[in-house]
Structure 1
């Protein structure tokens, strides 16, 4: 759910392109999640505060738990988080996890999350990179939309196709 939450932050920040990378390394059983966008970005003062659960850039509520929970979950596994942002240029959030750590939460439904992001936000282009050591899978929603033509990405058959494509590629890379 971290991936969904942070990507939705990007969409709320006005991003038209969101790039999500999941990098799995067998040698140290680690994973890095990186989400970059071309949204409105944040100044350094805001970046310094966004991992505080009682700080939010949203005006509808005063609490923001997405980044604080991501930070907590990464750090409790021995990992870390970094946030780079600049007003008008976008934001990049990176979180590293040691997957073998007893406190590492399960990976979750990555194929379903990718399909939901693409199909639920058709005006945003998502670029997805999933790597396991030297193996790599890439998915660009703009290319999918171009190929579909008049068929919307929200079509249930497209949703199922995207989910299955990501699932099969992750299984080929032995990611679970």
Structure 2
């Protein structure tokens, strides 16, 4: 995938299929230590030890429509290609946690991409999911919580077109501000 945000989107879709109610997406950029970390955690169904042991195999999937599951294996390959690492932990009935690290300035590290569009796309698909998005750059932090936005909106649906466009722009503006 050309952007890491597309990996995040794919893994969030996995969380939705696993019946997660909350997906936490955390991106940490530590330029002083040349590190980029992506952490995705959900409270979905989780995986048993047998499935967890083969989860990053591209020919492992729980889908019935196709017999390949490239999401985890592609993210793992991207992390390793950029002198990083990849870990997945999961517990049946509790949820899953995926962590990918990258050497921030590695020539083979894909750009982070458009996280505003990624979060907006997740929300368009499923209104009942809550997203906690945390983006840190050298200790400066931006936090976006759909729980907070839903409180402010009251009766207005979070996935109306006007709200989705605002969310996309709001996230992108704040992430851009972190990088100044």
Paired residues of 1:23 and 1:32 also in contact (CA < 8 A): yes
Q: Alignment RMSD, CA only?
A: 1.2
Aligned twin of 1:2: 7
Offset of residue 60 of structure 1: 2.1
Deviation at 1:23, TM superposition (A): 0.7
State which of 130, 153, 159 in structure 1 corresponds to 2:158: 153
Large movers: runs of 4+ above 2 Å? none
The answer to whether 1:137 aligns with 2:142 is yes
- Partner of 2:33, secondary structure, is coil
The superposition leaves residues 55-100 of structure 1 with CA deviations (integer Å, 9 ceiling, x where unpaired) of 1122222100000000000000000110010100100000001121
Aligned counterpart for 1:169 among listed residues 170, 174, 177: 174
Number of the residue aligned with 2:100? 95
**1:89-130 deviation line (CA, Å, top 9, x unaligned):** 100000001121111112211111112223332111111111
The aligned residue for residue 124 of structure 1 is: 129
Structure 1 residues not aligned, in runs of 5+: none
2:45 paired with 1:17: no
CA distance in 2, matches of 1:119, 1:146: 18
Aligned counterparts of 2:176 and 2:145: Cα–Cα separation in 1:
19
Normalized against structure 1, the TM-score is what?
0.95
Counterpart-to-counterpart distance in 1, 2:43 and 2:34: 30
User: Contact 1:118–1:141 (CA<8 Å) still a contact in 2?
Assistant: no
Unaligned ranges ≥5, structure 2: 1-5
CA distance in 2, matches of 1:57, 1:99: 32
Q: The residue matched to 2:32 in structure 1 has which SS?
A: coil
Report which of the two has the higher share of helix. Answer: 2
